[in-house]
Structure 1
């Protein structure tokens, strides 16, 4: 039983690591944009998933001049996901860099479509979310703007052991989500 548990945890870790490194290039020089995708957030403060995505987004920043783009519309009548994440980055985590908001999108396809104007001049583009979701977004960028997709580089959205117990579930959900993308 213990061996089976270890195998399941290792499988979840391996698959998430693999997704984190898929559809990215080497990306050298130029300015950098880090796109942080939101997750349904009906509460007045960032939920646990969005707080983690903000931390992963900020640790993906390579240096001064990087713009961080928070993307996500309202999941109810309150503030948008983008605004909640930006507020968390600034007020809780003390981020003082450049922040842009995309507050209209309701789907991952729309996240990508709506941030494209904010990415036009970026030399390197990082998309941050859970690894399968970020891979889905990178695939969407490849479909919508292959020229920009050539600038995709790896974000720091996967760390060994982080979310370890949840990664097998994330891997199962990711397989389901990515299967639907390949069908299209």
Structure 2
């Protein structure tokens, strides 16, 4: 819990900047922290998945399952000393095929994208509606681990919308392509400190 308490002020700080605006969030985070800090679920796209869901690793179907009851069962069978699961039946198995399960987060070709289809459609519609309107894009901390998820799409939106302005907050890699440099601000430093300046 201390980790969540540490991060929450940054999310709340960001939410205070956009709460009265027509915002949309695309995030590679799978921890639901945006939702937990007031951002509307209908305005969030999480293309990398969500820890709240589990899925079959086959996958044998496109169904996902609520993680909470699975975790509750695991914790009830966790030895507090050895940290081993005392009952093998508590280890999650797919209700359909009996196969291994894992969190519904992008990690391979087995990832089930169905829970995020409506999110993706809403995000694409939002971007399309704003292609000719002034928007500020805040790219917060996206580096080069998975640049195709957030970093490069934000650059593309900025490039294709002449009225867009990109604020890139990044401690290590705030650089932007030369083609959009005149409509971008590269902010190098810790996000919480830089947000406070806004």
Give the TM-score band, short-chain normalised. 0.3 to 0.5
Considering fraction of residues, name the structure with more helix.
Answer: 1
- The structure with higher relative contact order (CA 8 Å, sep 6+) is 1
Considering fraction of residues, name the structure with more strand.
Answer: 2
Normalised to the residue count of structure 1, the TM-score between the two structures is 0.35
Higher-Rg structure is 2
